[in-house]
Structure 1
Amino acid sequence: MTDTAFSPPRRRPLILIACMLAMFMAAIEVTIIATAMPTIIASLGGFSYFGWVFSVYLLTQAISVPIYGRLADLWGRKSVLFTGISLFLLGSVLCGFAHGMVWLVLFRAIQGLGAGAIMPLTSTIVADIYSPRERAGIQGWLSSVWGVAAIVGPLTGAWLVQHFHWAAVFWVNVPIGIVAMLMLARWLPAHPTAARERLNLTGSGWLAICISALLIALLQGEMLGYWLLAFLLLALVAGYFLQRHERRAANPLFPLAIWRNKVIIAGNMGNIILGASMMGISAFLPTWIQGINNGSPLQAGSALAMMSIGWPLASTLSGHLMLRTSYRFTAQLGALLLVAGSAMLLLLHAQSPIWQAGLSAFVVGTGMGMTSTTFLISVQNSADYQIRGICTASIMFSRLLGSALGTALMGAVLNWNLMHRLPDSHEPVQLLMSDERHTLSSDSLAHLVSEIARSLHWVFVAALLIAFTSLWVARRMPKARPD
């Protein structure tokens, strides 16, 4: 496809900085809140809503990402992004004033609705103002935002709740968002659009129902019990009606050109795989370090941070590598690193040093950074300006969906193994990571550690199998270089 975007604006570096600030604001949100949650729970109570503080943010973000992407193509990037940032800042301010966990969950939902615009549209705007060859290197800068946020977020959250009221972890984003909006208002030109087309509201409704039902089933499966089947059925029915409506709609949410482009399809498949594979590290490596290695939360966080360091480094490298080799070579190299890092997790044992876990996370992070950047650049370079917003949004949505699928799948693998290996033990992982661990006899503790370690190894096996599928997707990337 040809690139029909407007001529690049003169102040591109300033626009890039503004986009990075907006992306940083949304990226740091999850990590900064995680550190502050114990203090928030102590103040507001309502521990039963703990998981929903994170789940509802992911849910509303996932629902809104493809809708914002399509709106950006129809109405222009600038106005839609400003709407998203405004919603995010409104939710942030309201979260700080929450007087109970129910209100906090509600305001987090508003934050998520705003974040659904920020993540895809900042990346789309950067793709609009840089040429296909330049995008490969520039996307490394955007990836570095995630690495910095993952490291700075927990430290900032801990410092803020120690010296200020916990509301500060939400309000710290407000000045960042305002500065980003002022910079974009000053230097980002509004691309002239054709007649203002209407959003496909029927398709958007079916999409929202389908995604909501599916993510609730995946994220809250254990709590739902038999209601899980009802939510899965609802997701299936809504998905059927969405597909049926899209085929007949004059202005579909997902234009037909997307489904005819093999590169765009492969890029989305790759991001589903990356999202699922990433959960083998993010969700379960800290459990291994604290439960099996008896490490501290700081050691677990430090090991996990290695993935966030490897990701932006590899993302930056992949931009240069693509220009010298091809999309396919770079994606295959990243997939091999992802497989290697996942395989290294299987070498962990109860006496493994923490640095070994950190090294595994670093290799996985390099694989993630190299493949994700390649998939994104190949999709953006294959899309016309008129559909680049929805194509970029689909990449972000695919990764969110993959993360939810990976969490559900690997959680099921862990629970199934624990049920068969420790049938008489209630919440064995919780027992191993609590102070009750020290009350166990040496034989009981050794048995518990051994069985949980075997169960976690099967989780890592699942992550490895998922990582292997990225090799297949990488072969679907073009042999050409960005031009």
Structure 2
Amino acid sequence: MAPSDDERSPLLQSRPSEEPEDPTKLPKGRRNAILVAVWLGVFLGALDGTIVATLISDVSSSFKKSNQAGLLGTSYLLSTATFTPLYGRLADIIGRRAALLIALALFTSGTALCGFAPSMVSLLIGRLIAGMGGGGLMAVSSIVASDLIPLKQRALFQGLANLFFGAGSGLGGPLGGFISDRYGWRTAFIGQLPVLLLATFLVFRNLRYRIPGQGKSKREMARRIDYLGSLTLVISLGSLLFALSFKNDRSLPWSSPFVWAPLIAFVVATIAFVLVEAYYSPEPVMPLRLLKDRNGLFVALANFTVSFVSFSILYFYPQFFEIVKQKSASEAGAHLLPNSIALSAGSLFAGFVIRKTGRYYWLIAITSAFPIFALTSFVFLDEKSGWFLSWLSILPSGFGFASVITAGLIALIASVDRSDMATATGLTYLFRYVGQVVGVACSASMLQAVLTSELKHRITGPGAAKTIDQIRHVATSIPSLPPAIQQAARDSYRYALRAVFLLNLGVAVACFLTTLPIREYPLPGSFEEEEQHRRQRNSGTSTPSGAAQA
């Protein structure tokens, strides 16, 4: 049967007067309007992430589910890690505008559900839905910037984008704590909705250009999506998270079938995903050939490890001040403000250096070591820590994370053809969000394991089991306990958080090592130069430059 007119029509039909525009030739005013529209989504995604980080204790305690607090982070990050790589390919197939509008619709509906959630389960579902869109906001905004900006200037514009990210990250912590203390945690979600609707309007109005290879009909678009690859990726990541969650929430041993069975499913699904992507999918969600290139592999690993560390810090650093030092949620969240400043400074610094020198290798290698210094400082945190450890020790972590992420993206897209740029960007976000999922889940598992052991050691006698269970499930109940039990609980949390920081210190060292083999490629200053460099590289007449070319 012949396809209908509806099936032949584009998903987003342009009016006859609106001819598709070449994104590389847009006027500066139009280009900047597009960038501001998509960066507003970046701001909201970052704001939401750190708002939730400071609401974890209040939200989980309100439902009497403190032992499931880690799921507030991992549920969002699971769906983000699962769906983000889809947006690279989706943006190629259905266009940048449609992909970003889908991301905004999912993020807005999930945030609304969180604000009105009647139970912990419905709140977690809301976080899952929001995560489906949250990763898309980040990934598609980065793809759009690469469409509009030549490679040598791209890092500086990524730095500007990270100003929006840094502003969101910095405001989210103290703003979330302030709103929760005065108006309740639900307002922190509901208050985001008007800004999300504004972002949707701006994207719909301004982002209208088409790109080569974009699908021409709904049937073609639907046919080109990698459903099997996406499904095996969901099963793989979901199984890993379930294993870590059962180990964490129920304190089950590794020998429990609720732990090892999901781990086996994770291994099997991962193998299936690799086989599907390598041999079955005509347009794979994660092209494995990108990982065969040295930059593709090591930039991906650097994204995984630095994200593992950075998001563990975001979720567990404020808990030290809220639980061990017994500060309010707003005071605990305020300790993330220096991290926000460092994120912005690190991104702009990386962008400036790359634009000025045209090089990125030593920048990545040196700044990837910065989180090591931050985590070494965290290990020495205690109830008597002064202003330096409490406020400034987090600075190297944010600065290093922002620099590695910004320069790493340039290192990857400089090594691939423009036709692979969107999927390569999606690849970095895949490993970034998988790192976040695994980091928060592993850190939460470590926290609960050490916390349970320390509490059992410090609290004994009649009723000890009930008291330990109360401390683990409702952390905000600690001030209502007898003074001796309060001190035992705070000491137990301090040792548990120290174990989390030591775990992340080891991962930070691994991050530094993964940046060393990255190659350096020339960074052209215009789209014409960029195309010439790519043709030379494809013909074998151009070689990488810099210290890591061997």
TM-score, L = length of structure 1: 0.86
Equivalent-residue separation in structure 1 for 2:495 and 2:62 (angstroms)? 38
* 1:466 aligns to 2:507 (yes or no): yes
Amino acid aligned to 2:409? L
Q: Which residue of 2 aligns with 1:311?
A: 343
Return the offset for 1:86.
Answer: 1.8
Equivalent-residue separation in structure 2 for 1:162 and 1:350 (angstroms)? 23
Going from structure 1 to structure 2, the CA distance change for 1:266 and 1:235 (only over 3 Å counts) comes to same
Q: Which residue of 2 aligns with 1:135?
A: 154
Q: Which residue of 2 aligns with 1:32?
A: 51
Going from structure 1 to structure 2, the CA distance change for 1:175 and 1:76 (only over 3 Å counts) comes to same
Q: Which residue of 2 aligns with 1:236?
A: 267
Moved more, 114-123 or 97-106: 97-106
Q: Which residue of 2 aligns with 1:374?
A: 407
Query: Taking every aligned residue pair, what percent have the same amino acid on both sides?
Result: 24
* 1:257 aligns to 2:301 (yes or no): no
1:478 to 504, 507, 519: 519
Return the offset for 1:79.
Answer: 1.3
The answer for unaligned runs of 5 or more in structure 1 is none
State the SS of the aligned residue for 1:340. Answer: helix
Return the offset for 1:413.
Answer: 4.3
Equivalent pair of 1:289/1:354 in contact (CA under 8 Å): no
Return the offset for 1:179.
Answer: 2.9
TM-score, L = length of structure 2: 0.77
Q: Which residue of 2 aligns with 1:341?
A: 374
Q: Which residue of 2 aligns with 1:203?
A: 229
Moved more, 249-258 or 425-434: 425-434
Equivalent pair of 1:340/1:363 in contact (CA under 8 Å): yes
1:216 to 219, 242, 247: 242
State the SS of the aligned residue for 2:523. Answer: coil
2:320 to 273, 277, 288: 288
Equivalent pair of 1:327/1:482 in contact (CA under 8 Å): no
Moved more, 309-318 or 88-97: 88-97
Matches within 5 A, 1:11-410: 11-33=30-52, 52-157=71-176, 168-188=187-207, 189-193=209-213, 195=215, 196=220, 198-223=224-249, 225=252, 226=256, 227-249=258-280, 250-293=282-325, 295-325=327-357, 326-410=359-443
Equivalent-residue separation in structure 2 for 1:172 and 1:29 (angstroms)? 11
Equivalent pair of 1:144/1:312 in contact (CA under 8 Å): yes
Going from structure 1 to structure 2, the CA distance change for 1:393 and 1:30 (only over 3 Å counts) comes to same
Equivalent pair of 2:236/2:270 in contact (CA under 8 Å): yes
**Bigger radius of gyration:** 2
Going from structure 1 to structure 2, the CA distance change for 1:283 and 1:215 (only over 3 Å counts) comes to same
Q: Deviations over 1:128-153 (max 9, x none)?
A: 11110111101111212222112322
Amino acid aligned to 2:198? V
Going from structure 1 to structure 2, the CA distance change for 1:85 and 1:294 (only over 3 Å counts) comes to closer
Equivalent-residue separation in structure 2 for 1:342 and 1:38 (angstroms)? 23
Q: Which residue of 1 aligns with 2:465?
A: none
Return the offset for 1:120.
Answer: 0.7
Return the offset for 1:175.
Answer: 3.2
Q: Give the CA RMSD over aligned residues.
A: 3.3
Q: Which residue of 2 aligns with 1:9?
A: 26
State the SS of the aligned residue for 1:191. Answer: coil
Equivalent pair of 2:166/2:340 in contact (CA under 8 Å): yes
Equivalent-residue separation in structure 2 for 1:153 and 1:432 (angstroms)? 21
Equivalent pair of 2:301/2:514 in contact (CA under 8 Å): yes
Q: Which residue of 1 aligns with 2:528?
A: none
Equivalent-residue separation in structure 1 for 2:39 and 2:213 (angstroms)? 25
Return the offset for 1:101.
Answer: 4.0
Equivalent pair of 2:303/2:435 in contact (CA under 8 Å): yes
Equivalent-residue separation in structure 1 for 2:336 and 2:143 (angstroms)? 29
State the SS of the aligned residue for 1:434. Answer: helix
Return the offset for 1:377.
Answer: 2.0
Return the offset for 1:471.
Answer: 2.1
Equivalent pair of 2:139/2:425 in contact (CA under 8 Å): yes
Return the offset for 1:356.
Answer: 1.8
Equivalent pair of 1:28/1:150 in contact (CA under 8 Å): yes
Going from structure 1 to structure 2, the CA distance change for 1:79 and 1:160 (only over 3 Å counts) comes to same
Q: Deviations over 1:24-63 (max 9, x none)?
A: 2222223334556777679888778765444332222221
State the SS of the aligned residue for 1:482. Answer: coil
The answer for unaligned runs of 5 or more in structure 2 is 1-21, 460-467, 525-550
Going from structure 1 to structure 2, the CA distance change for 1:362 and 1:230 (only over 3 Å counts) comes to same
Q: Deviations over 1:141-198 (max 9, x none)?
A: 1212222112322444456567778655334333323333333333321224355451
Moved more, 54-63 or 97-106: 97-106
Equivalent-residue separation in structure 2 for 1:92 and 1:23 (angstroms)? 15
State the SS of the aligned residue for 2:414. Answer: helix
Equivalent-residue separation in structure 1 for 2:443 and 2:351 (angstroms)? 32
Equivalent pair of 1:376/1:395 in contact (CA under 8 Å): yes
Amino acid aligned to 1:27? A
* 1:434 aligns to 2:467 (yes or no): no
Equivalent-residue separation in structure 1 for 2:502 and 2:52 (angstroms)? 30
Going from structure 1 to structure 2, the CA distance change for 1:48 and 1:454 (only over 3 Å counts) comes to closer
Going from structure 1 to structure 2, the CA distance change for 1:170 and 1:361 (only over 3 Å counts) comes to same
Amino acid aligned to 1:318? A
Amino acid aligned to 1:209? I
Tell me the number of residue pairs that the alignment of Structure 1 and Structure 2 aligns: 476
Moved more, 29-38 or 348-357: 29-38
Amino acid aligned to 2:341? I
Equivalent-residue separation in structure 2 for 1:266 and 1:182 (angstroms)? 38
Equivalent-residue separation in structure 2 for 1:45 and 1:349 (angstroms)? 27
